[in-house]
Structure 1
């Protein structure tokens, strides 16, 4: 046995980990020595632990959390489990890189006094449809002014309109929109959004959204609407909307409305301030979800679809609605705790 063992110093040289790192992974239960001398407390490692140590070193270099490294090591003989963990971490890294690009682009715009103009070209029909799809979720709290506007988030990949009041979130993608100029995230006041909904008509043809510094200009046909961007950072909605729920339920909207009308209502107390509120109780198999009936009806109206897919992660996770065939579009509703 002793001949097949190596000390902590030799394992450090063979694996690329430092001695202090090996001691740390021992304490964390990630890489426990095969044997520890009871008198000197010296750590000894087996031949097979060299590969494990090299694996830990590589996974740590790409920032994988210790819990996931432990899962990889525990299931290293099960390729399906290992592949799932590696894919999930790679997706997080790619999302993080996209986030970093957006943040650096925003930082650059703050450092450069005169940023180039960004123009978003779409159709009036597509813009109005997207605007109607998010308008219901715009906040009204004057204490959170950034939520009282609509976010236009544009980069080379897509253009999204987003609104949230903390209890609801709506995202719509402008399919086929073209962006000229640098990526931009601009919050426009709801007054400009309402003016567009009230005065623009779908038959106006092409529409251009121009962002020039603090000025936002909508041009469609012979109509030109102007507003000033709101000087505030919109919440990072992308971190909230990533991925799908653990369970997906396909619903017919007409039957779902009937279910909602017949669903029982329960009075519960808010965990934040103890205030009483009415919760409509929806049942999906063994899962009961409490919702604000009015908010849910508004989200259904905004979706304007005959079929929806509901993402469910349990009674305290947001209820997410997606229309089939509209990738990236969703309406999200925070549940009301029933217990």
Structure 2
């Protein structure tokens, strides 16, 4: 017999997913210990679990997965190819529809780009080194690594008036921080700086001396304490982060950050459930009562539940212990703020609670 931990490790499903599939009757364990509640799986169930993992990876609906597993375990494999072929045809239709929609979007983008004019970016400003370092540290975790989206592999430097905002996003989370400046006072200037160049700048920001930041077109230079680093920005335009952060006001909940970190550290999967009451705790099981099977979260007598990537949330908590979580709604991003300041915050997209 396999324990649930062994089954999760060997099948690729994960413990929380196995608990979910037990509850919905897709893959119940062969035996549940009546005294401890521990789930035990028969050796032949490992192949079923691996098949289940592949089917869900292929995006097959749960109703069809049930039929495939029932036919598989019952020896009636004639039904399985028909279900697989039907799912493949459905995916092909959806892909054709998506291609058509994206072609129309590309056409509109091409028209918009042809009507836009390019402005010259020039700025020369002084930034307190400690403020600048803290701002970069607050957003660095959210820089993207997808080679298909190189513009997200950097940090946006957005200079307007006396403010320098630094912004990073990998689509699933977005972080914004601010540092005060002097010496610019001109029009808004934006440049996306690649992550390696940002890291080189951050390495120079070690003292209390002010840093001189110069933007000239696609070039950027930082000077401080007699040292300098310079390079080129990324050529693409960064998404409009102000639009992305325009959310209705939500319910703010103080975070017990050390306790939350401890709870998240015990999660080994790509998602877990948070329980939102007058504080925020990690649910014992990701798919517990009231969570529902859909996107985002659900409500119950024990508070709202919302699914998150535990590693992503840990990254967002890394910059301090005095923080708040703002909950807007089940499908809206979670907002993480430092108490008493709006200068640094991050957004985290909720995960589906459906395994």
Query: Shorter-chain-normalised TM-score: which range?
Result: 0.5 to 0.7
Instruction: Work out which of the residue numbers 245, 249, 258 in structure 1 matches 2:253.
Output: 249
Gaps of 5+ in 1: 1-106, 266-276
**2:221 is aligned with 1:217:** yes
Deviation per residue, 1:262-291 (Å, 9 max, x gap): 6x77xxxxxxxxxxx731111013211111
What is the CA distance between 1:317 and its match in structure 2?
Answer: 1.8
Deviations 1:104-138 (A, max 9, x none): xxx66x15xxx473112111111111111111100
Following the alignment from structure 1 to structure 2, what is the Cα–Cα distance between the partners of residues 120 and 247? Answer: 37
SS of the equivalent of 2:317 reads: helix
CA contact (8 A) 2:160 2:185 kept: no
Instruction: Tell me which residue corresponds to 1:148.
Output: 153
TM-score, normalised via structure 1 length: 0.59
Query: Would you say the 8 A contact 1:254–1:306 is kept in 2?
Result: yes
Shift of 1:178: 4.7
Tell me what 1:202 maps to: 206
Q: For 1:139-180, what per-residue CA distance to the aligned partner results, in whole angstroms no more than 9, with x for missing partners?
A: 011111110011001111522000000011010011355524
Give the TM-score normalised by the residue count of structure 2: 0.56
Separation in 1, partners of 2:152, 2:188:
21
- Give the aligned partner of residue 311 of structure 1: 326
Q: Could you give the per-residue CA deviations for residues 9-30 of structure 1, whole angstroms, max 9, x where no partner exists?
A: xxxxxxxxxxxxxxxxxxxxxx
Q: Counterpart of 1:191 in 2: which secondary structure? A: helix
1:130 to 119, 130, 135: 135
Match of 2:271 in 1: 279
Pick closer, same or farther for the CA change 1:201–1:239 going to 2, 3 Å. closer
Distance of aligned partners of 1:129 and 1:178 in 2 relative to their CA distance in 1, 3 Å threshold: farther
Aligned to 2:344: 329
Q: How does 1:70-81 map to 2 (within 5 A)?
A: none
Aligned to 1:293: 310
**Residue 197 of structure 1, CA deviation:** 2.4
8 Å contact kept, 2:133–2:202: yes
Instruction: Count residues in correspondence.
Output: 214
RMSD: 2.1
Contact 2:121 2:189 in 1 (8 A): no
Alpha-carbon distance, 1:192 to partner: 0.6
Q: Which of 166, 172, 176 is 1:167 aligned to?
A: 172
- Report the secondary structure of 2:135's partner residue: helix
Give, in whole Å, the separation in 2 of the partners of 1:177 and 1:253: 34
Q: Tell whether the 8 Å contact from 1:316 to 1:337 is kept in structure 2 after alignment.
A: no
- The list of structure 1 runs, each at least 4 consecutive aligned residues, that deviate by more than 4 angstroms after superposition, is none
Q: Distance in 2 between matches of 1:318 and 1:154?
A: 25
**Is residue 233 from structure 1 mapped to residue 233 from structure 2 by the alignment?**
no
Contact 2:128 2:181 (8 Å CA) reproduced:
no
1: CA distance, partners of 2:179 / 2:143: 18
Note closer, same or farther for the CA distance 1:310–1:244 as it changes in structure 2 (3 Å cut): farther
1:10-89 to 2 correspondences below 5 Å: none
Structure 2 alignment gaps of length 5 or more: 1-115, 278-302
Change (3 A) 1:160 1:177: farther
Larger radius of gyration: 1
Tell me, what secondary structure is at the counterpart of 2:158?
strand
Equivalent in the alignment of 1:55? none
SS at match of 2:275: strand
Distance change in 2, residues 1:338/1:213 (3 Å):
same
**How far did 1:204 drift?**
5.2
